Amino acid sequence: MTTIDAAADRLMLVDGEDVEALAGERFSRESPAHDTVVATYPKGQPADVDRAVAAARRAFDSGPWPRLAGVERARVLNRTAELIRRDADELARTEALESGKPITQARGEVDGTADLWEYAATLARHSYGDAHSALGQQVLGLVLNEPVGVVAMITPWNFPLLIVSQKLPFALAVGCTAAIKPSNLTSGTTVHLAGLLREAGLPDGVVNVVTGSGGVGSALVSHPDVDMVSFTGSTEVGRIIAREAGALLKRTELELGGKNPQIICADADLDVAIDGAVYGALFNQGECCNAGSRLLVEASVVDEVVAEIAARSQRISIGDPLDPDTRIGAIASAEQLETIERMVASGQADGAKLVVGGERLTTDTGRFYAATVFAGVAPKMAIAHEEIFGPVVSVLPFESLDDAIAIANGTPFGLSAGIWTKDVDKAIRASRALRAGTIWVNSWLEGYPELPFGGVGASGVGRELGRQAIHAFTETKTVQLHSGWSSPWA
């Protein structure tokens, strides 16, 4: 294992200042691969949320940010993208150490993050409403899109920098302000990003970061001066946030869990499909809401596909996230490892065939789990319909495309789905019939800032990315201008 430097003592950012928690308490984060403390953070409490939200409220109600021209906001977002690229190595290393993901993957995510900020900058200059000039000679109607206000953002541990950047630059583009709670497992890159925004010229109070545990998130959701909540995380927590925010008639955007099916047809290029299936299921240790962890394989080729997936899974390098050759890193937390172990045991108890894996790897430090493949999985088994969030693949056979679509749609989730086939008719049928926010045809896990992302059902509410993203952060106002109006009673 790589030698780790001394732990960094980081601070929160509130109203443009680096600050400790008001109570003076701190917590530490150990690398899940190295069992070494890599950073400490202020342990925020509701009182810290109060001052962060107050700063965001002042910045929105009386500060310059919501009132700037779009081109001026775009300059700050573009400058932030430049700074992200400048600090790419440090950001990637922080992400790898805190989350356990491979460093090569983390570097790719940092580059993709900068791209998100650059794309959002274009939307800052293209956020506009509408005009209606056919309402009569004396009437002009204007439809204005105005920033929603203060947005609370609560982000997870699996893609901390990327996911906050699927929210924050789009909210900033239209003039919102924000109070952010990153996961207590992976706070480092969000705190770093806040510092880059300050360096880029963002006015004080526009973005505030409070580190800490779940109490910080609850305080954000219920705070009366927060106008909107944007959350990425588990469906279970998403339901709680939806209830709390609904009681306050507060807008929400929820990006939640997934149990995503990849349909492999017998007519597909099987070599490519298997490669995509393994990548889609095991990327980021399977700790990914978009993981293609359900493989629906046509019965005539299922034995061939299972054998090859098992062989390729065993060849993937698992180990030190800081090693450039590593493809599967460490499991982020002891709780997540327990979930994986419980779900694997459930699959075996239900009668699925464990082909490879199914065990924690023996290592001197850290938490690592073997790439695991189950065959003979039935749709009603827990491993076929519950999110595992680990490097576990479940293979389900199907006889016809209609059968596959029915199995694919047979869970409450609807985040993403895909099909591997050379038949364009099958691709079109599946794309129309699969209930999911994203459909991949002959690929998996590709993403572009220009294309919207989000789910249906238990996978969430709303969309991030694409030009649609800014709609979540705006309110629509109608203005009617009338020349020479007189009452109809006159």
- 3-state percent helix, strand, coil for the chain, nearest multiple of 5: 40, 20, 40
Contact predicate 153/163, CB 8 Å: no
First-to-last alpha carbon distance for the chain, in angstroms, is: 86
Euclidean distance between CA atoms 160 and 29, whole angstroms? 14
Residue 151: count other Cβ atoms within 10 Å of its Cβ: 28
Catalytically annotated residue among 265, 289, 298, 387: 289
Catalytically annotated residue among 30, 109, 255, 464: 255
Task: Give phi and psi for 68, each to the nearest 5.
Answer: -70, 155
Task: Give phi and psi for 144, each to the nearest 5.
Answer: -105, 140
> Would you call 289 a catalytic residue per the annotation?
yes
Euclidean distance between CA atoms 26 and 9, whole angstroms? 9
Residue with tokens 């695991």: 372
Contact predicate 391/282, CB 8 Å: yes
Helices 88-99 and 188-199 cross at an angle (nearest 10°) of 160
Euclidean distance between CA atoms 352 and 342, whole angstroms? 14
Euclidean distance between CA atoms 373 and 297, whole angstroms? 13
Helical (H) or strand (E) element with 407: helix 401-408
In which region does residue 61 sit, left (phi positive, over 0), alpha (psi from -120 to 50) or beta (all else)?
alpha
CA-nearest of 365, 392, 335 to 32 is: 365
> Would you call 176 a catalytic residue per the annotation?
no
**Helix ranges restricted to H, 87-209:** 88-99, 103-124, 160-164, 168-173, 188-199
CA dist 13 to 52, 119, 172, 209, Å? 8, 25, 17, 5
**Amino acid identity for residue 92 in this structure:** A
Radius of gyration of the chain (CA): 24
Which residues carry out catalysis?
A: 255, 289
